[in-house]
Amino acid sequence: MAMNETREPTRRDFLFIVTGMASAVGAVASTWPFIDQMRPDASTLALASIEVDISSLGEGMSLTVKWRGRPVFIRNRTPKEIEAANAVAIEELKDPVARNANLSNDQPATDLARSAGDGRENWIVMIGVCTHLGCVPLGQAGDFGGWFCPCHGSHYDTAGRIRKGPAPENLAIPSFAFISEAVVRIG
């Protein structure tokens, strides 16, 4: 057969195509149980949001709760801590983005954008995982009086913004809302 000649499909061509399609469907059908078992179960989905009673947190006190397997820091900051955070210019920050799930992705990392806002600037809620290698920072420590990760020396200020050390980003703020004066819902 010459290169420029065409030929009619044969029964063998049809059988090759049908066999290939059947093999593809079989491969997908056999791997589906493995893929399906990776979905989170009901107990995990139930932890999608938690409600935390913060009525016992006085000024200058902190609470750590577990949400989705990660620590979350809740802090009732003092006026001095808020003042220190407000005194920092955005240009001085290593990460100028707020990293607040409640705001748009391009919000600057002002103290107000990092706090609960709306008259609750004293409250800060952050995921307590260092953005360098996932360690848990220590509260009210470090060069800026916020959080300090002793593993590799990352220093966060009182608004949870990275100020010194290898961490590339500010501590993340999860979606949260105050559902009453004494209860905050995370997630």
Structure-block tokens of residue 137: 């920072």
Catalytic residue among 66, 80, 120, 152: 152
51 and 179 Cβ atoms separated by less than 8 Å:
yes
pLDDT at res. 38 = 80
Structure-block tokens of residue 99: 């990293």
pLDDT in tens, 16-34: 899 999 999 998 888 888 8
pLDDT at res. 171 = 93
pLDDT grade for 43, boundaries at 50, 70 and 90? low
In the annotation, is 132 catalytic? no
Strands (E), 54-182: 62-67, 70-76, 123-127, 138-139, 147-149, 154-156, 162-164, 176-178
pLDDT at res. 2 = 60
pLDDT at res. 134 = 85
Domains and CATH numbers, the chain: 46-186 (2.102.10.10)
d(CA 97, CA 88): 14
